[in-house]
Amino acid sequence: MARKKIITVGSDPEFLITDHSGNYIPADKFFNQCGDCNPCEKCGRKRCTGNRVLCGICKNCEDVCEDCDACCGCESCRDQDPEDCDFCYDCMDNGDCDLDGEIGCDGCSDVGELRPMFGETPHEHHNNIATLIDMIDVPKKYELHAGTRVDGFDLGGHIHLGFRGKKETYEYGESLQTALYISKYAGMPLRKIEHPSDLAYRGLQQYGYGQFGSHSDRRYGIEWRMPASWLVSSDIALSALCLAHMVILEYYVEPEIITLPTVESQKKTLGSSTFASRYIARLEKMKYYPNYKEELEPLFQMLTNGEEWDTETDIREMW
């Protein structure tokens, strides 16, 4: 991957809705209704996921998008993927589109997902997330939870890291090394504050969701898919975004070849009595650490004290 300075940060963190007895409530109960949604151009049904870029195309027809809306910034369509309708990645990365962000469901209609507008800094993106959380229209008789594995649902906190400059196709092997580097220095500290029993289902297994190095190539850069949903609190969310941003900037200053660790070696690393001190010392040596010292302090305190993040409290109370 070409050595480019990363200046954009995005994400699509997930959350689960429950009643006060702990029973989950399907997210599409709240986010699948859109009074202004156009009927599907192909079959006539009205079906909206809460993500406005899918309005006009229903689930059964969305695989084929012959009449894709033009990008609102450059008036052309990047391709026939309906999720790219209304804006293209060229405009998204250059800030030509006025996207306020969205609240909807992920691929599983049971789980809610925030799709905040990207930011040129972790702080800007964090503010965009806070704005969306304030906009979530779910009655107080229900609770919103984030974390690792809540009520049997694996919740992801994918972080999108974008590159300014000329767009190009990245080789998987190159982007994999980037993802492995981020996973080692940002993913492992975040993994350390997850509940061990939850982590046994999500992440610490040979195959499955949220593995070490998990990522997806994007035209704007890379979607890092290892972290669980760090929406648990405002402080931890900011720590997670700043940590990922700092680490990937470090990778372009001082790249390092990382080998995919086995599950057993990850467990051994996480279980080490010196994990916190070793990782904190390494992160403090990174070039951009002084820029994020204050923002990383809540995470460092949790690591030092052996604390786990709170999945029981409604995230709206923690923001």
The structural domain count of the chain equals: 2
Lowest mean pLDDT of 187-196, 217-226, 293-302, name the range: 217-226
Whether 159 and 235 share a structural domain: yes
Are both 243 and 218 inside the same structural domain? yes
Same domain, residue pair 271 and 157: yes
Domain that holds residue 300: 6-27+110-317
Look at residue 131 and tell me if it is in a domain.
yes
Q: Among all chains, which residue has been given the structure tokens 């390494």? A: 282
In this prediction the pTM is: 0.79
pLDDT in tens, 122-139: 999 999 999 999 999 899
Q: How far apart are CA 270 and CA 93, in angstroms?
A: 36
Closest CA to 15 of 115, 100, 122, 101: 115
Out of 102, 124, 153, pick the residue that ends a domain: 102
Distance (Å, whole) CA 120 – CA 148: 27
Q: What is the number of H-type helices and E-type strands within the chain?
A: 10, 11
Residue 135: inside a domain: yes
Residue where one domain finishes, among candidates 102, 133, 157: 102
Residue 171: band (very low, low, confident or very high) from pLDDT cuts 50, 70, 90: low
Contact by Cβ (8 Å): 152, 262: no
In a domain, 1, yes or no: no
Percent of the chain at pLDDT above 70? 72
What is the distance between the alpha carbons of residues 163 and 256, in angstroms, rounded to a whole number?
20
Is residue 62 located within the same domain as residue 211?
no
Q: Per the domain annotation, does 92 fall within a domain?
A: yes
Asked whether residue 239 carries a pLDDT value surpassing 80, the answer given is yes
- Which residue type sits at 99? L
pLDDT digits (tens, 9 = 90+) for 244-275: 999 999 998 889 999 999 999 999 999 999 99
- Beta-carbon contacts of 32 under 8 Å, excluding residues fewer than 6 positions away, are 47, 48, 49, 50, 104, 105, 109
Q: Which helix (H) or strand (E) holds 208?
A: none
Based on the fold, state whether residues 139 and 192 are members of the same structural domain.
yes
Distance CA(37)–CA(167), nearest Å, equals 32
Q: How far is CA 80 from CA 52, 63, 164, 216, 268, in A?
A: 16, 9, 24, 19, 45
Same domain as 172, residue 239:
yes
Tens of pLDDT, residue by residue over 191-215, are 999 988 888 777 887 777 789 999 9
Question: Is the domain of 187 the same as that of 142?
Answer: yes
Summary mean pLDDT of the chain: 80
CA 201, CA 211: separation in Å to the nearest integer? 11
Buried b / exposed e over 239-274, threshold 16 CB at 10 Å, is: bbbbbbbbbbbbbbeeeeebeebeeeebeebbeeee
